[in-house]
Amino acid sequence: MDELREALLVLADGEVFEGEAVGADVAVTSGEVVFNTVLTGYQEVITDPSYAGQIITFTATHIGNYGVTPLDEEASHAACRGVVVRDLARRRSNWRSDDTLDGWLRRVGVPGITGVDTRRLTRHLRQAGAVPGAFGTAGHDALLAAARAEPGTDGIDLVATVTCDAPYVVGSGPRRVVAYDFGIKATMLRHLGKLATVEVVPASTSAEDVLARAPDGVFLSNGPGDPAAVAGASHNIAELLGKVPVFGICLGHQLLATALGGRTYKLPFGHHGGNHPIRRLATGGVEITSQNHNYAVAEGSVDGADVTHVNLNDGVVEGIACRNLPAFSVQYHPEAGPGPHDARYLFAEFEALMDRGAGR
């Protein structure tokens, strides 16, 4: 790690946090500031396309101790605007790693700030909600101006910035799945690839084009930002319902709900972490889940679907299943790399749904 440079994080509401610049060398970077409570998996978090437009604050005090490896990347590039940490490890201590977190951040072009009082920052975000902010080596006034000019994520189609440009195929399973790329993660594709040969298509792909591929099932991926701003997605999903089994995760859950006539709303500071307790209503069992979303489905707004899972922290709708159509979704991440893995059974449920639809 090179000699550290003084830096500031300034929020749009005027709060200031001191630190040192790490990662990519930029004078100013801005975005919506959120916090994530994971203890491990920082590389998976940083490369999750769902963080497009956001600055990620890690609440765990010591980040980077096991280094980085290409095997843990969820996408080919990082879409987040930057990372905030309390203590960035100077040494890596894991046989899998091939670089330090600081070196990797420089290589992939992600700026960071370390030495920040992340405990105070997290407490502030819990009170104020996710707010725009800016950090870097520029002066206070420049950073404050950038923070106040930052539009945040409301009403912006961030999916268009992370979706693929053209279809591609992964996996070699016996079924055929078309996966909408709203910001799809590599771990999702690894799970789906065991069940099916998966053709990943851009977010704007029409329902007609999807059905022309004769899939056994359609997967709706995770992704960033406001579901109401994703152009055409809900219409296309509505056109698919009843014609092919559908499974959605995270943003895919919200888009399935809106395709069914449901409403979504923005949470104060979102769910970002690896230990959210969820009750599975069918069994009464509790699952520990990984989550990363700022928006949620409004309870009681989805006609024709039953709530299947509920967040035990705040009652947010975490899963729905259609009564008369082969379609279901969850708000959390059953694929969760590095974990938890309590909800991986949902991929088997999608497999069974496809087999019933295909008459297997």
Known catalytic residues?
250, 333, 335
Q: Which residues contact 77 (CB under 8 A, 6 or more apart)?
A: 47, 108, 109
The 3-state secondary structure of the chain, one letter per residue = CCCCEEEEEEECCCCEEEEEEEECCCCCEEEEEEEECCCCCHHHHHCCHHHCCEEEEECCCEECCCCECHHHCCCCCCCCCEEECCEECCCCCCCCCCECHHHHHHHHCCEEEECCCHHHHHHHHHHHCCEEEEEECCCHHHHHHHHHHCCCCCCCCHHHHCCCCCCEEECCCCEEEEEEECCCCHHHHHHHHHHEEEEEEECCCCHHHHHHCCCCEEEECCCCCCHHHCCCHHHHHHHHCCCCCEEEECHHHHHHHHHCCCCEEEEEEEEEEEEEEEEECCCCCEEEEEEEEEEEECCCCCCCEEEEEEECCCCCEEEEEECCCCEEEECCECCCCCCCCCCCHHHHHHHHHHHHHHCC
- Give the rounded distance of the alpha carbon of 43 from its chain centre: 13
Q: Which residues contact 332 (CB under 8 A, 6 or more apart)?
A: 249, 250, 271, 276, 278, 289, 290, 291, 309, 318, 343
CB 111 within 8 A of CB 105: yes
- Only one residue has tokens 């979102």, namely 270
Q: Which two tokens stand for residue 46?
A: 């940083």
